[in-house]
Amino acid sequence: MQTITGLSSKVTNARQNARSEREANQLSVRQELQADCYAGVWGHYAARRDLLEPGDAEEGLNAAAAIGDDRLQRRSQGHVVPESFTHGSSEERMRWLRRGLDSGRMEACDTFTAGGSS
């Protein structure tokens, strides 16, 4: 979806022009959280069409939590460096996936104006 709407190329350009690695990483986080939200929107409609089995949404939320940058960093290096996040924390990933699941609206997935952490 992000490629179709042109967002992917805009983020790539913005990352290349970022003033710092931290700023570039924040753009990546916002893009990844938006993708999580879009996955939730898909899940919203899949559930309405009975394409999901009981527990699928919870499984998706658990997966989002498991692959948060904070958990991965803690597991691999023993500590967390939020400035180096490229996908978002476990809590952020779960929150944005849940937002898409609950709303079913792509408009609810604007992580860029929401700052990526709302």
Residue with tokens 């913005």, as numbered in its chain:
14
Which residues, other chains included, contact 104 with Cβ-Cβ below 8 Å and sequence gap of 6+? 41, 44, 45, 48
Q: What is the DSSP string of 79-112?
A: S--GGG-SS--HHHHHHHHHHHHHH--GGGG-TT
- Is residue 118 very low, low, confident or very high in pLDDT (cuts 50, 70, 90)? very low
Round to whole Å and give the CA distance between 2 and 46: 20
Averaged pLDDT of the chain: 94
What mean pLDDT do residues 10-38 have? 97
Half-sphere exposure of 101 (CA within 13 A, CB side): 17
Round to whole Å and give the CA distance between 109 and 30: 10
Round to whole Å and give the CA distance between 63 and 4: 25
- Is residue 115 very low, low, confident or very high in pLDDT (cuts 50, 70, 90)? low
Q: Is the pTM of this model over 0.85?
A: yes
